[in-house]
Amino acid sequence: MPALYVMIPAALLLVGVAVYIFFWAVDSGQYDDLEGPAHSILFDDQDPRHQAAVKHDEAKPDDQEPAPRA
């Protein structure tokens, strides 16, 4: 029974902290754009190194075998 005198206020304190954090997240805009990050993965990568590698691979003919080494 004495444990309840500690556990109930501790649980209420944790619930209060969770509610405060939730309202802080809503007020700071954490839930404003829920679909944007999900759609951004579908767009092409704009990394210059990636674009240069793609251009280099497109310029190299695939049907030619490399020259034999001597």
Torsion of CA 12, 16, 17, 19, to 10 degrees: 140
Does residue 66 belong to any structural domain of this protein? no
Is 67 a member of any domain? no
Is residue 65 domain-resident? no
Average confidence (pLDDT) over 28-51: 79
- Has residue 21 been placed in a domain? yes
Other Cβ atoms closer than 10 A to 55: 10
Higher pLDDT, 32 or 40: 32
Closest Cα partner for 14 from 64, 30, 57, 22? 22
Number of separate domains in the chain: 1
- Domain-embedded: residue 40: yes
27: in domain: yes
Q: Is 68 left (phi over 0), alpha (psi -120 to 50) or beta?
A: beta
Mean pLDDT computed over every residue of the chain: 82
Half-sphere exposure for 66 (CA within 13 Å, toward CB): 3
pTM here? 0.51
| d(C-alpha 12, C-alpha 22), whole Å | 15
Domain that holds residue 26: 3-55
Q: Kindly state whether residue 60 falls inside one of the protein's structural domains.
A: no
